[in-house]
Structure 1
Amino acid sequence: MTYENIKTIILTILVATSAFLTWNLWTYQPKYDLFETTNTVKEVTIATKKEVNQIVRPDTLLFHHSEKETYGTVSPAEIDKIIKDISVWNFNDFENVTEDMGNLPSYVHDVGKAVIMFPDSVPIDLYKSVIKIGDKNVTNFQFDRIVIDMNQVHKENGIVDFVSIDNQQVFRSHVPVSYIQNFKSQYFKLSEYSPEYKTYFAYEPSDKRIIYLPSQETKMERYQFLEKKLDSEQYKNALFSDPSVVQKSFQQSEEEYNDTSSLLRVNSDKNTLRYVKPAAGDNLTFPSGDLLKRSIDFVNAHSGWTDNYQFAEIDELNHRVIFRMYDSSGYPIFSDDPKITEIRQIWGQNEIYEYFRSNFELGLRTDDKTEVSLSSGTPVIKYLQSLDGFDPELLENVTLGYKMMLVKEAQTTFIRLEPSWFYRYDGIWESISLDETGGMNNGLE
């Protein structure tokens, strides 16, 4: 073998070795020990989360068949069916038609109108998550009524108005007329024969508002439940950014939790839970467009919907949102001060300033079924008109509902829900109860 052949063999071996080492370097994957990933902050789950359509709900349906015939219901089952149906209608071509309206309440409640009523103003931007809106450039407005016109079923497009009684504003949308035709045959016409619907009559306290009340007596159930206390420690863990530094103390009937910026008080005598973060209320400017959304998100963050709470009131000026308890039949539940049937929130610029609610939820039902009959709306209106100093301009609403009372017996607390009439006057809800002589007593007692 010549010298040149030996050099060639050695060179070939070196090249092959280099290529092998390079390949191993490129493809080498070191074996690391596996570590389980853990969340640095554990999510607190107190009760349940809810979607917008479960919280922001209509509370009354009215179908105006003629000038003397109006059928209405508060049935959650009927409301759910109708909202589910209209959620796919694809509302389009929104326009502000406020200037074309005459007397707005009369227009809303005209013959041939189906009126879906909400407790207070709802931003259309939020309600886009419930109904289908094809108009991508729709202005963000507010509404408290959805009005479906049954008189347009013979035209190419149907008309659905989103009305704000408080703001005296109307935004009109258009939908395929086939949807309204189906709505008329499935709901509007049949309401006259459905046991879920009752006849209603109109009371007009002013030219800015028409209130509809049942024309006949209404049977409602009495309820009694055991009180189920909420876990204060869970709320501490949910509401404070760093629960490990929170200090706990006791003051008479109160548990108090605090850190350097926040305070949580749980009062067992008043049955309330109040969380305050004073620094969040310093800035007076506030982007109120998403006020309702962030209020829902705040409760969802700790799954805090312990009972059947629904959106009830919004006050953008004071950055306040109220969610109220409703019973399974669709009636609102009220109480004495403090408002233990409500979840109240007041917002600062970017954070919650105050969170106020009860420290309990409804436990097991303890009594048998008991029905009571409440009067029609006629004697209620007569009673209100007889009150000293009554100003019909200040009457905002009249409704059937429940008064919650907590009764302590030995070591047990019972929650009683008593059917009653309620009216909202100058921003305040009051109750009307029948006495033994057939008269009426006024006030949340």
Structure 2
Amino acid sequence: MSFEGAKNIILTTLVAASALLTWNIWTYQPEFKKIDQSEFIRDDSQKQELSEVIKPDRVLFHTQGKHFQTHDEGEIIKIQTEIAKWTLFNFKDASHLAGNKKFLSFVHADGNTEVIFPDQIPLNLYKSVLNFDDRKLPKVSFDRIIFKTEPGISEGKVYFVNYKQKKVYQSQVSTAHLKNFNNAFASRAEGFPEYISKEINPQRTLFLPKEAVQLSQVKYYINYLDIDENFKETLFTNPDKVVQDSVTRGKEYTDGSKLLSEYQDFSTIEFVNPAQKSYSNGAPVDLLQKSIDFVSNHGGWGDHYDEGRKTDGQQTIGFRYSAQSEDGQKVIFRLFKGGYPVFNEQGMSEIEQTWGDEEIYRFRRPYFSIAFAIETDYPYKVKLPSGQQILQQFTENRNIELQDLEDIRVGYKLSRDPLEPKLIVLEPSWYYLYGGTWTVLPINKPVGGKIGLE
């Protein structure tokens, strides 16, 4: 073979090899491992704004020796929005202004407006709803905001009061804000229902409606949440290893340690993580915030709005913050209907959480959401006794000491419709808080008045 022939063969081989290498580079597709992005993507579709979960449940006006109260949700949202516009500054402890002997007279003084929350709220959590100019705020809690709204206001002071601990904290605000509030709300307080006051002990005064209260019974159609999708997949670390079993009351899910139980008769679930039973006290701000986040990621809030009312924030029925126990690391969110709390002895109206050192220890809640209200041309109207009649019942009841009552208020009793399991019934009733437990008050028919269903 000549030299030129050998050179041509070598050159041809190199060109072919180069072409093959180029082709492999162009067409090479490595095998990538598919990543489950659900581990990294958080669903915020059920996330609620803090002001939607933590909100006042009543506003009390003291004017000219009388007391007027509203729990109308639309009105309270307007008041909450107005206060959020204020710039608050110079926050400090002012408990000396209301010593034990004059605490009640300070809080309920004539000319005061009380914005009352269901239970104590950490200031460092709720500050995101308000507008504080102070760079650092103390770690305190409050359950009502109080300020003067009478004409001729000369001092702009707003008080954050912890009613249980008898603590008062003072902040300053422009008097222009208080004057605007007086013009927009306090000046028309007499248009709200009038209330009577009853000092049941040196530490507490109750306010009850002066006249009988009339409300309609309400029925709602409900939708069931999928337990596997909403709870099993999110409450267990390895859902694929969870074993399901049918029991008399419903179903049970377990991974050998944690237990998720379904109670079909009440449409509720209970989750228990025994490894977290030993718990220590945590910061109230952390407890409440993580409880709100937990609900958002485990079944959601299930709020229902009447058509056309969601745009103005007027929620018809939904869960709100109701109570917390720092000692027991427990938080309760309760259904509220039009500003009234909803109660059920089997837990159908509550979301309850108890936290351990690191994770949730116990979680209870209903597994349904409100779909729509059942409209009727002739709704049942329930006429409840006046506040004075209710106080008289407690005076005659030897089993309960009036001075030990924590609260008395109108609410709704939730029950299942006996004929249609996907209907729930809300019946207006009187409730009282005694020993930390809400109990329905059996109504005695008073002399000279028809009380009950009409």
State if a TM-score over 0.5 links the two structures: yes
- The residue matched to 1:57 in structure 2 has which SS? coil
1:26 corresponds to: none
Cα deviations by residue, 1:270-323 (Å, 9 ceiling, x for unpaired): 432001111122243534442111110111123510240011111100111111
Q: Supply the AA of the counterpart residue of 2:399.
A: G
Offset of 1:397 from its aligned partner?
Answer: 0.5
Q: Could you tell me how far apart the structure 1 residues matched to 2:27 and 2:51 are?
A: 50
- Select 1:49's aligned residue among 47, 50, 58: 47
- The residue matched to 1:339 in structure 2 has which SS? coil
Change (3 A) 1:72 1:32: farther
Q: Could you tell me how far apart the structure 2 residues matched to 1:434 and 1:47 are?
A: 42
- Is 1:310 matched up with 2:310? no
- Is 1:280 matched up with 2:276? yes
% same residue: 30
Q: Could you tell me how far apart the structure 1 residues matched to 2:82 and 2:27 are?
A: 56
Q: Supply the AA of the counterpart residue of 2:424.
A: I
* Cα contact 1:280–1:347 (8 A) shared by 2: yes
* Cα contact 1:345–1:355 (8 A) shared by 2: yes
Offset of 1:381 from its aligned partner?
Answer: 0.7
2:8 corresponds to: none
Instruction: Flag structure 2 segments of 5+ consecutive residues without an equivalent.
Output: 1-25, 304-317, 450-454
2:17 corresponds to: none
1:319 corresponds to: 329
- Is 1:357 matched up with 2:365? yes
Q: Supply the AA of the counterpart residue of 1:221.
A: S
Offset of 1:250 from its aligned partner?
Answer: 1.1
- Select 1:226's aligned residue among 221, 225, 234: 221
- The residue matched to 2:90 in structure 1 has which SS? strand
- The residue matched to 1:399 in structure 2 has which SS? strand
Cα deviations by residue, 1:334-365 (Å, 9 ceiling, x for unpaired): 112x2221000000112111100123233443
Within-5 A mapping of 1:280-429: 280-302=276-298, 304-307=300-303, 308-327=318-337, 329-336=338-345, 338-368=346-376, 369-409=379-419, 412-429=421-438
2:83 corresponds to: 86
* Cα contact 1:46–1:306 (8 A) shared by 2: no
Within-5 A mapping of 1:33-72: 39-41=37-39, 48-67=46-65, 69-72=66-69
* Cα contact 2:389–2:446 (8 A) shared by 1: no
1:236 corresponds to: 232
Offset of 1:37 from its aligned partner?
Answer: 7.2
Give me the TM-score of the superposition, normalised by structure 2: 0.83
- Select 1:208's aligned residue among 203, 206, 217: 203
Q: Could you tell me how far apart the structure 2 residues matched to 1:252 and 1:438 are?
A: 47
Offset of 1:414 from its aligned partner?
Answer: 2.8
Structure 1 stretch 237-246 or stretch 291-300: which is displaced more? 237-246
Structure 1 stretch 360-369 or stretch 225-234: which is displaced more? 360-369
Offset of 1:246 from its aligned partner?
Answer: 1.5
Q: Supply the AA of the counterpart residue of 2:362.
A: E
2:258 corresponds to: 262
- Select 1:198's aligned residue among 172, 193, 198: 193
Alignment coverage as a number of residue pairs: 404
* Cα contact 1:45–1:304 (8 A) shared by 2: no
* Cα contact 2:125–2:285 (8 A) shared by 1: no
Q: Could you tell me how far apart the structure 2 residues matched to 1:431 and 1:114 are?
A: 29
* Cα contact 1:147–1:162 (8 A) shared by 2: yes
Change (3 A) 1:32 1:274: farther
- The residue matched to 1:305 in structure 2 has which SS? coil
User: RMSD of aligned C-alpha atoms?
Assistant: 2.6
Instruction: Flag structure 1 segments of 5+ consecutive residues without an equivalent.
Output: 1-29, 441-445
Give me the TM-score of the superposition, normalised by structure 1: 0.84
Q: Could you tell me how far apart the structure 1 residues matched to 2:47 and 2:385 are?
A: 37
